[in-house]
Amino acid sequence: MNWQLIIFWILAVIALLCAIGVVTSRNPINSVLFLIMTFFAIAGHYLLLNAQFLAVVHIIVYAGAIMVLFLFVIMLMNMNAETEPQKSQLVRFAGVISGGILLIVVLAALKKADPALMSGKSSDIGLISNLGQVLFHEFIVPFELSSVLFLSAMVGAVLIGKKN
Amino acid sequence: MNEIVFTAVFGVFLLFSGLFIRSKNAIRFIAITGMGLAFLVNGWEYFHPGNDWPGGMIHADHVSILFNAIALGCTLVYFLLSGKDFEQLGEHLAEYFALVYFILCGVGIASSFTSLLMLFLAIEIISIPQYILAGSQKSNLKSNEASLKYFLMGAFSTGFLLMGIALLYGSTGTFHIGEMNLGGSGIDPLVLTGILFLIVGLTFKVGGAPFHFWTPDVYDGAPSVVTSFMATVVKAAGFIAFLRLFSIAFSADNITAHWTLVIALIAAATLLVGNFTAVFQVSVKRMLAYSSISQAGFMILALVGLGTLAWDGILLYAAAYSLATIGAFAVLIRMEDYTYEGYRGLGKKQPLVALANTVFLLSLTGIPATAGFMAKYFVLSSALQRGGMLWLVILALCCAAVSAYYYFRLIWAMYFQEGEPAILPDRITPAFKGLLIFTALLVVAIGVYPGLVLNWLP
């Protein structure tokens, strides 16, 4: 067994256990902390796949910005068991059934996935220089047009945040 | 593609002009002029097509340009009719207009994308300014609720859309909708799952059942002037993107066999839910929200049809439905009381306004000699063309008959019930009346001579 495989298994176990912890822990703060752990483990997987840029962005954006936002929201809302809306058993049952069906569909689809499509690509594809090459040649149009998206989001943030 | 660049740049220009120009009339004038210019710039491309951008992710053909022209024309009418009502939203007039321009930039991408990546960008550029506009009345709790609900639901549905795109990419190895080659003998389950997710995501965005739950609350809670735009141009753009994707990428016979029934059931559910719930509404605004669901049901029929007739139908529908709804909302904004009672006696007090409103409602019902009839005719015949859909067409006709009830109820209230309609003071100017009549004439003109729109198709 080479060291990459060992690290992969360790990371996979951490990611799965923490993901289960997100769902099962009673305290929302613990949930968020588990989620951060999951994100770090997944970032480790990205590193194993030689995608450094994705790993760094994943940590900065998800584990950093979004999770801090989550924590703030949870602390501000001051949630506890009494204020939690009660779901009827029927709704829970329906949720489990439909979620389970979706799981089966996705599993069936992924089972037939062709790994050849992935392995055909060069392993350096995730390096920053390659990413820049692709981003500024092949994907230049969506790159530029996404500026409209961010501009409107910024306008919105100012509009909503500003005092009248 | 001219339209995409022009609207994006002009939106930025408007943001800057808001910094230097204090006069609200001047900003409104700039916004209206810009929309007229955008219409011309877009029309120029029809006659002088340019080269595609590098990467080939956007290709504006004549259908895209025609739809852009419809969207820009409807927005021009909307600005002219309701531009003054933007002042109700708050102080930052230039920003609101700029956001509408950004939405139109997204509409331009939605009508001409050839890559799933651009589809995603288009949907997001259309959605995000809407979340902001829906919540622009910050002190109005209903507006806040509408914005938050729309944002959370929209973000959730975007997840489905992205998952679908990822699965399709994972199976075909390309984002390009023309190069997926799904027509082969064996079908990858990944592709089918991806298509299913795309259907869920897009149905959500256009407000079709069973993913319509956000629609009435958001349309009712958002400021009326914003709802008027959300329910028309934006919804039509969603359908153009939907139809473009499915008619180019998933139209091979062995693939349609898998999703046509799903779409047909969604259409049936949307028609039933929209029409039968609209019947019970007390508020005209909420009735128009449910009516927009029911009209979406008719537009989904074009997806069942898929063919040249479907394109004719969806373009006519976009024009007919947008013009009529924008007109009906322009009248609604001027009423103090949004219930049916509030419209009582409008026929006596404002005969011209009531007449135009009647034409809009008749068009929404689909009465012959109005644009709505022709639009419904083309959409239904496109669905008939694909055999085995007779049940759906009959259901749609029954639903159209049901819709007559709630539209005619408003006409009845305007003409045959005594009352004193409470109209906001100084809002019905001669210019507004003239424009409203012009819009009504346009609706009739398209209904009598649909070639007005369709002759531009190649």
**What confidence category does residue B56 fall into, taking pLDDT thresholds of 50, 70 and 90?**
confident
Phi, psi of B380 (to 5 degrees): -65, -40
Comparing B185 with B400, the larger pLDDT belongs to: B400
> What amino acid occupies position B428?
I
Q: Which residues from B are below 8 Å from A146, CB to CB?
A: 121
Pair of tokens at residue A69: 């936002």
**Domain co-membership, A96 together with A33:** no
The whole-angstrom distance between residue B323's C-alpha and the CA centroid of its chain comes to 10
User: CA torsion, points A85, A90, A92, A96, in degrees to nearest 10?
Assistant: -160
Q: How far apart are CA B401 and CA B140, in angstroms?
A: 36
**Domain co-membership, A51 together with A91:** no
**Looking at residue B54, what is its pLDDT?**
80
Please state, as a whole number, how many other Cβ atoms lie within 10 Å of the Cβ of residue B376. Answer: 26
> What amino acid occupies position B101?
Y
Question: What stretches of A25-139 show up as alpha helix (H) in DSSP?
Answer: 28-48, 52-57, 67-77, 89-111, 116-119, 128-137
Q: How far apart are CA B190 and CA B170, in angstroms?
A: 8
**What confidence category does residue B137 fall into, taking pLDDT thresholds of 50, 70 and 90?**
confident
For the cut 90, the answer to whether the pLDDT of residue B429 exceeds it is no
For the cut 70, the answer to whether the pLDDT of residue B73 exceeds it is yes
Residue B417: which residues within 8 A CB-CB, separation 6 or more?
B344, B345
What count of CB pairs under 8 Å joins A to B? 96
**What confidence category does residue B107 fall into, taking pLDDT thresholds of 50, 70 and 90?**
very high
**Residue found by looking up tokens 């419209």 in the block:** B343
Q: Which residues from A are below 8 Å from B139, CB to CB?
A: 164
Pair of tokens at residue B446: 């398209």
Q: How far apart are CA B383 and CA A119, in angstroms?
A: 43
Q: How far apart are CA A84 and CA B324, in angstroms?
A: 44
Integer CA distances (angstroms), B116 to A1, B32, B112, B421, B427, in order: 40, 32, 11, 49, 44
Tell me if residue B388 falls in helix, strand or coil.
Answer: coil
Percentage with pLDDT > 70 across chain B: 99
Longest dimension (CA), chain B: 67
**Domain co-membership, A124 together with A50:** yes
DSSP state for residue B113 in the 8-state scheme: B
- On whether the CB atoms of residues B111 and B244 are closer than 8 A, the answer is yes
**Domain co-membership, A96 together with A134:** no
Phi, psi of B30 (to 5 degrees): -60, -45
**What confidence category does residue A121 fall into, taking pLDDT thresholds of 50, 70 and 90?**
low
What tens digit of pLDDT does each residue of B271-324 get? Answer: 999 999 999 988 999 999 999 999 999 999 999 888 888 999 999 999 999 999
Give the closest of A106, A149, A159 to B92, CB-based.
Answer: A159
> Of B79, B112, B71, nearest to B318 (Cα)?
B71
- The mean pLDDT value for B20-34 works out to 91
Q: How many CA atoms lie within 13 A of B263 on its CB side?
A: 30
Q: How far apart are CA B288 and CA B231, in angstroms?
A: 9
**Domain co-membership, A24 together with A98:** no
Q: How far apart are CA B190 and CA B400, in angstroms?
A: 38
The whole-angstrom distance between residue B279's C-alpha and the CA centroid of its chain comes to 22
For the cut 60, the answer to whether the pLDDT of residue B4 exceeds it is yes
> Could you tell me which residues of chain A have a Cβ less than 8 Å from any Cβ in chain B?
105-106, 108-110, 112-114, 117, 137-142, 145-146, 148-149, 151-153, 155-156, 158-160, 162, 164
Give the closest of A112, A156, A160 to B188, CB-based.
Answer: A112
**Domain co-membership, A68 together with A129:** yes
**Residue found by looking up tokens 């943030």 in the block:** A157
Domain residue extents for chain B: 2-454
Percentage with pLDDT > 70 across chain A: 86
Pair of tokens at residue A16: 């799965």
**Looking at residue B42, what is its pLDDT?**
92
- On whether the CB atoms of residues B116 and B179 are closer than 8 A, the answer is no
Q: How many CA atoms lie within 13 A of B355 on its CB side?
A: 14
Phi, psi of B335 (to 5 degrees): -95, 145
**Residue found by looking up tokens 């074009």 in the block:** B302
Instruction: Kindly report the length of chain B.
Output: 458
**Domain co-membership, A50 together with A75:** yes
> Of A76, A75, A53, A55, nearest to A129 (Cα)?
A53
Tell me if residue B115 falls in helix, strand or coil.
Answer: strand
Phi, psi of B339 (to 5 degrees): -85, 170
Give the closest of A108, A139, A148 to B8, CB-based.
Answer: A148
Pair of tokens at residue B14: 């408007």
Total tally of structural domains belonging to chain A = 2
**Looking at residue A18, what is its pLDDT?**
93
Pair of tokens at residue B352: 């011209």
Pair of tokens at residue B200: 């869920």
Give the closest of A109, A140, A146 to B193, CB-based.
Answer: A109
Q: Which residues from B are below 8 Å from A141, CB to CB?
A: 53-55, 57-58, 118
Tell me if residue A88 falls in helix, strand or coil.
Answer: coil
Average pLDDT of chain B?
90
The pTM (predicted TM-score) of the whole model is 0.91
CATH of the domain at A58: 1.20.120.1200
Q: Is B58 exposed, middle or buried (0-12, 13-18, 19+ CB in 10 A)?
A: buried
DSSP state for residue A77 in the 8-state scheme: H
What tens digit of pLDDT does each residue of B87-103 get? Answer: 888 888 899 999 999 99
Pair of tokens at residue B37: 């210019």
Q: How far apart are CA A60 and CA A56, in angstroms?
A: 6
The whole-angstrom distance between residue A9's C-alpha and the CA centroid of its chain comes to 19
For the cut 90, the answer to whether the pLDDT of residue B36 exceeds it is yes
Q: Which residues from B are below 8 Å from A164, CB to CB?
A: 90-91, 138-139
**Domain co-membership, A96 together with A155:** no
**Looking at residue A117, what is its pLDDT?**
58
Q: How far apart are CA B194 and CA B170, in angstroms?
A: 9
Chain A interface mutation, best of B4, B17, B193, B234, highest count of A Cβ atoms under 10 Å? B193
The whole domain housing A30 covers 3-80+118-161
Note whether B190 contacts A110, CB cutoff 8 Å: yes
B387 touches chain A (CB under 8 A): no
B81 touches chain A (CB under 8 A): no
**Domain co-membership, A15 together with A35:** yes
DSSP letter string over B300-325?
A: HHHHHH-SHHHHHHHHHHHHHHHHHH
**Domain co-membership, A52 together with A122:** yes
Pair of tokens at residue B390: 């007779």
> Of B112, B106, B39, nearest to B79 (Cα)?
B39
Note whether A140 contacts B105, CB cutoff 8 Å: no
Percentage with pLDDT > 90 across chain B: 56
**Domain co-membership, A149 together with A110:** no
**Domain co-membership, A27 together with A104:** no
**What confidence category does residue B189 fall into, taking pLDDT thresholds of 50, 70 and 90?**
confident
Q: How far apart are CA A131 and CA B304, in angstroms?
A: 40
**Looking at residue A122, what is its pLDDT?**
61
Q: How far apart are CA B128 and CA A147, in angstroms?
A: 13
Note whether A142 contacts B118, CB cutoff 8 Å: yes
- The mean pLDDT value for B416-423 works out to 82
- On whether the CB atoms of residues B225 and B290 are closer than 8 A, the answer is no
Tell me if residue B57 falls in helix, strand or coil.
Answer: coil
B186 touches chain A (CB under 8 A): no
Give the closest of A109, A138, A142 to B121, CB-based.
Answer: A142
For the cut 60, the answer to whether the pLDDT of residue A120 exceeds it is no
Pair of tokens at residue B312: 């004719």
**Looking at residue A164, what is its pLDDT?**
65
